């Protein structure tokens, strides 16, 4: 009997339906034995016994697999509800315990909630005391207290999107394991991790902005923050170098310029970005002069003071960069600005 006849016969049989994942809300999963023809009869009609972990052929009864491991969630409900899912939130580096610890809910121990749950006033008082003790035991070690404070800084002051919050938290954990936090302020190392996480994602922030967010904007703290950033970057191997193009979007937004100005700035940088004249120049300043020139070209000029206030360079520096830009554009045959 050829293969086509076999498939035709098996398709005509009544009641021979595969029961892969029957009655379960989870996604149907396939194994090797369920996708290849049966080695005995050549049919492709498999039945999976979930309780025994076996996969057998419905045509000849050959057991192709046994003791299979189900990698899915445990769809068992021990309550009276209809929802059988028993999955929780994923682990998060931005939480000191990664979200794995359990806690006694204070909301269930209020006077009204205690009455609803049938808890007497004396028992509720005892449970409130247990809740306090439970919270204290979670931060008994110095490392736990350190992580709790640092993660609070990163979440509240980092001003990062959720993905980068987790990246910054992971960097801080690595720094703590390497002993880089010892002898340094938690606030400073957390700020350094926030800066490095944003820089590695090509969304750089100015060090002055990070220092202001973490209340480290005086001269002594700013100098210490820069030193900490260099140390953490060297130890953790985060050596991504920010370029002027990475600052264009954020400066464009802060200056309130229309979209064509950003396109013009990217065009200018694409024209002159390969020049060696920009070596050693501050990337934020180069981005600022590109936007200043582009705003003039597109009819939405901004004053040098406005640009310098956003970029963080002096007007003298901006004018020096503008002379370099005009000279490069003149070499390319484009008219310099007045």
Q: Are 224 and 250 within one domain?
A: no
On whether residue 111 sits in a domain, the answer given is: yes
For 112, the domain range is 106-138
According to DSSP, residue 272 is labeled H
Looking at 112-116, 198-202, 257-261, which range is the least confident one? 112-116
In a domain, residue 85? The reply is no
User: Is 89 within the bounds of a domain?
Assistant: no
Domain-embedded: residue 73: no
Residues 220 and 304 both lie in one domain: no
**What CATH code is carried by the domain that includes residue 300?**
1.10.472.10
What are 281-311's pLDDT values in tens digits? 989 999 999 999 999 999 999 999 999 999 9
Which CATH number does the domain housing residue 39 bear? 2.20.25
Percent of the chain with pLDDT over 70: 82
* Residue 132 covered by a domain: yes
154, 193 contact by CB (below 8 A): yes
* Neighbouring C-beta atoms of residue 75, cutoff 10 Å: 16
Closest CA relative to residue 180, chosen from 266, 238, 117: 238
Instruction: Tell me what pLDDT residue 34 has.
Output: 67
Average pLDDT of the residues of the chain: 81
Torsion of CA 194, 197, 205, 219, to 10 degrees: 40
| DSSP three-state, residue 46 | strand
Rg (CA), the chain: 32
Q: Is the per-residue pLDDT at 337 higher than 80? A: no
Domain count for the chain, please give it. Answer: 4
The verdict on 123 and 206 lying in the same domain is no
Residues 59 and 21 in one domain: yes
Q: Tens of pLDDT along 128-173?
A: 888 888 777 776 778 888 888 999 999 999 999 999 999 999 999 9
101 vs 80: CA distance, rounded Å: 26
pLDDT of residue 86: 56
Per the rule left: phi > 0, alpha: psi between -120 and 50, beta: everything else, 185 is beta
Q: Check pLDDT > 70 for residue 182.
A: yes
Q: How many CA atoms lie within 13 A of 330 on its CB side?
A: 9
pLDDT band at 80 (very low <50, low <70, confident <90, very high): low
Residue whose structure tokens are 């926030």? 194
CB neighbours (10 Å) of residue 70? Answer: 14
- Whether 256 and 296 map to the same domain: the answer is yes
> 131 and 147: one domain?
no
């Amino acid at each position: 009997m050829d293969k086509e006849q076999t498939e035709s016969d098996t398709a005509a049989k009544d009641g021979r339906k595969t029961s892969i994942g029957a009655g379960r809300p989870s996604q149907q999963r396939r194994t090797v034995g369920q996708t290849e023809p049966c080695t005995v009869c050549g049919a492709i009609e498999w039945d999976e016994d979930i309780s025994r972990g076996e996969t057998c052929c419905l045509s000849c009864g050959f057991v192709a697999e046994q003791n299979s491991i189900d990698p899915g969630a445990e769809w068992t409900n021990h309550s009276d509800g209809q929802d059988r899912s028993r999955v929780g939130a994923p682990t998060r580096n931005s939480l000191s315990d990664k979200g794995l610890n359990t806690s006694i809910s204070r909301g269930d121990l209020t006077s009204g909630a205690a009455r609803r749950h049938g808890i007497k006033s004396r028992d509720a008082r005892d449970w409130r005391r247990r809740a306090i003790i439970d919270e204290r035991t979670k931060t008994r070690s110095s490392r736990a207290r350190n992580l709790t404070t640092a993660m609070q800084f990163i979440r509240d002051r980092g001003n990062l999107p959720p993905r980068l919050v987790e990246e910054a938290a992971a960097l801080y954990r690595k720094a703590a394991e390497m002993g880089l936090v010892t002898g340094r302020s938690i606030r400073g190392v957390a700020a350094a991790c926030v800066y490095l996480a944003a820089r590695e994602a090509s969304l750089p922030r100015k060090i002055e902005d990070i220092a202001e967010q973490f209340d480290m904007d005086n001269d002594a703290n700013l100098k210490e923050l820069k030193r900490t950033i260099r140390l953490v970057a060297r130890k953790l191997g985060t050596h991504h170098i920010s370029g002027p193009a990475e600052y264009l979007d954020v400066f464009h937004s802060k200056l309130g310029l229309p979209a064509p100005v950003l396109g013009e700035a990217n065009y200018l940088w694409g024209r002159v970005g390969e020049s060696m004249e920009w070596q050693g120049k501050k990337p934020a300043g180069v981005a600022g002069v590109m936007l200043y020139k582009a705003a003039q070209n597109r009819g939405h000029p901004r004053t040098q003071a406005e640009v310098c206030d956003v970029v963080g360079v002096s007007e003298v520096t901006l004018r020096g960069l503008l002379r370099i830009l005009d000279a490069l554009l003149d070499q390319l045959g484009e008219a310099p600005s007045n």
